[in-house]
Amino acid sequence: MHIVADENIPLLDAFFAPLGRITRLPGRQIGREHLLDADALLVRSVTRVDPQLLADTPVRFVGTCTIGTDHLDLPGLAAAGIAVASAPGCNARGVVEYVLSCLLTLSERTGLDWRTRRVGIVGVGEVGGRLAQTLAALGVECLLCDPPRANRGESGFAPLDQLLTECDVLSCHVPLTHSGPDATWHLLDAGRLVALRPGAWLINSSRGPVIDNHALKAVLAERADLQIALDVWEQEPQVDGELLQRCALGTPHIAGYSLDGKLRGTEQIYRASLGVPAPLTLQSLAPDAGRAQLQFAADTPAQWLLERSLRQVYDVRDDDARFRAAMLPMAGQSTAQAFDALRKGYPLRRECPEVEVRHSGQEETAALLAAAGFKR
């Protein structure tokens, strides 16, 4: 068996080497000429896969080690008889921690307590649902918007326009779709961006074109009150430098880039490809590197301890600083190359469940830490 895979997929050898030969390539460079004798293709979000890419090749299985599938032509692949699998939920925990870090940072910069801000969550699937559960457990009021689920008769969802006017924070977690009544391409267009309430915080860690980036830049030129955190960009890997400068936080599509999320993605695709449980467990494969034990004094205030612990696990300010430095003009490297280099060389990042927080605080402290996802 010959497997062609994105070089950034971790644990390829551990899971797939026993099945045959593996060819690793940069995801954006995978072309039909590389698949002429391949049986399976494993990708991440940067590789567009459609019947044209696979035409006259023996590939009959495509696995994407990501939650999203907008880079796959699902109807076309199905019509061509090609099996497809994704990894729903694999990096949900990492994205939740990204959003929490954005909230902490924007709270610090504005002087507004993030726990008193009403958060509107747009898209309540694997990621949005996990975020809603975490924020609710932390005492944060949330409004949820998910038109497809509401249209199926499920309760508990509000219209997007209601979130725009009633929420202090808007966090986007929708797939990118271009057609149908619930299409998400430019879901936040000029009209909706203008409708954001004064002082609103907008976080997008879903897909760049969910927000009209050109309109957002124009709105930000007039609305200094808005705080914008973008992890995804409309023309990736190209980035609008002017828009980046107007954003409070900018990162190179790494919200879910925890090591644990990547490992889960590889494992899920392995199980999907063979239809059997993986012969290995993530616990046996994941390194100890990055796992930590934090110790706090008995008199540490619960809220301070929670926020300090969250920042020890992930601090978006670090990624923002690296991103802005990399996007500066530099000889011999385009912004697109810098964008991909940041993703390829992304530093080790573990998740809250891999960190133990030791303290002698009261039950309030233990409850907050557990709600945030830390190891008990």
Quote the percentage of the chain above a pLDDT of 90: 80
Average pLDDT over residues 250-264: 94
Token pair 């992304």 is found at 346
**How does DSSP assign 20-73, residue by residue?**
SEEEEE-GGG--GGG-TT-SEEEE-TT--B-HHHHTTS---EEEESSS--TTB-
- pLDDT tens column, 65-123: 999 899 999 999 999 999 999 999 999 999 999 999 999 999 999 999 999 999 999 99
| Res. 174: pLDDT tops 80 | yes
| Res. 208: pLDDT tops 60 | yes
Residue from 71, 130, 207, 264 carrying the catalytic annotation:
207
Query: Where do the domains of the chain lie?
Result: 2-86+259-283, 92-250, 287-372
Q: Which CATH superfamily is domain 92-250 in?
A: NAD(P)-binding Rossmann-like Domain (3.40.50.720)
Helix H or strand E encompassing 213 = helix 213-222
Residue from 93, 97, 130, 236 carrying the catalytic annotation:
236
- On whether the pTM is more than 0.95, the answer is no
Confidence of residue 287 (pLDDT cuts 50, 70, 90): low
Q: Which CATH superfamily is domain 287-372 in?
A: Erythronate-4-phosphate dehydrogenase, dimerisation domain (3.30.1370.170)
Contacts of 280 (CB under 8 A, 6+ apart): 14, 15, 267
**How does DSSP assign 121-153, residue by residue?**
EE--SHHHHHHHHHHHHTT--EEEE-HHHHHTT
Dihedral pair phi/psi, residue 188, rounded to 5° = -100, 90
Most confident of 194-198, 293-297, 359-363: 194-198
Q: Which residues of 181-213 are buried (b: 16+ CB within 10 A; e: fewer)?
A: eeebebbbeeebbeebeeebbbbbbbbbbbbbb
For 31, 40, 80, 117, 275, the CA distances from 59, given in Å and listed in that order, are 13, 5, 11, 49, 17
Strand partners, 170: 120, 202
Active site residue 2: no
d(CA 76, CA 205): 27
Please count the CA atoms within 13 angstroms of the CA of 152 that sit on its side-chain side.
5
Q: Is residue 356 classed as helix, strand or coil in its secondary structure?
A: strand
Active site residue 207: yes
Please check whether the two domains, 2-86+259-283 and 92-250, share a CATH topology: yes
Average pLDDT over residues 37-48: 96
The topology under which CATH files domain 2-86+259-283 is Rossmann fold (3.40.50)
Residue from 44, 71, 192, 253 carrying the catalytic annotation:
253
| Res. 176: pLDDT tops 90 | yes
| Res. 283: pLDDT tops 80 | no
CB count in 10 Å sphere of residue 309:
21
The pLDDT, as a whole number, for residue 10 is 87
